[in-house]
Amino acid sequence: MLAIHLNNLCFHSFHGLYAEERVTGNDFRVDLTVQHHPTALSVRSLEDTIDYAAVYELVKAAMDEPRDLLETVAIDIANTILKRYAHAEDVSVSITKLYPPIPAIQGSLGVSFKLNRNQLV
């Protein structure tokens, strides 16, 4: 099994339950890992693996669509990747909201989600 990692992907998006989050947005960081079986034991071309740039575009599309919950975004990203890449087996996604609009929280907050191909419906 081979894994690709996309780390510290930064987005300004409009996810959240509070009205102000839909207006001003927030900064988010996304980290993800896609485990897959390469199509050949000798990976020499992009067709033998998973295209980092294409995965980034899938993540960007999900981050561009405002949602109430980060959980929804993480699940959508994992589902989309597994449906797009038949040789992908596991996707792990973490999304961090860097500046949550909750006065009691001085740090960041986030969610993580892991999906295996066997769990797809």
58 closest CA partner among 36, 78, 88, 38: 78
Q: Are 81 and 91 in contact (CB under 8 A)?
A: yes
pLDDT tens column, 25-65: 999 999 999 999 887 788 888 888 899 999 999 999 999 99
List domains and CATH numbers for the chain: 2-119 (3.30.1130.10)
What local confidence, expressed as pLDDT, does residue 93 receive?
A: 99
Q: Name the pTM for this structure.
A: 0.93
Residue 72's pLDDT band (cuts 50, 70, 90): very high
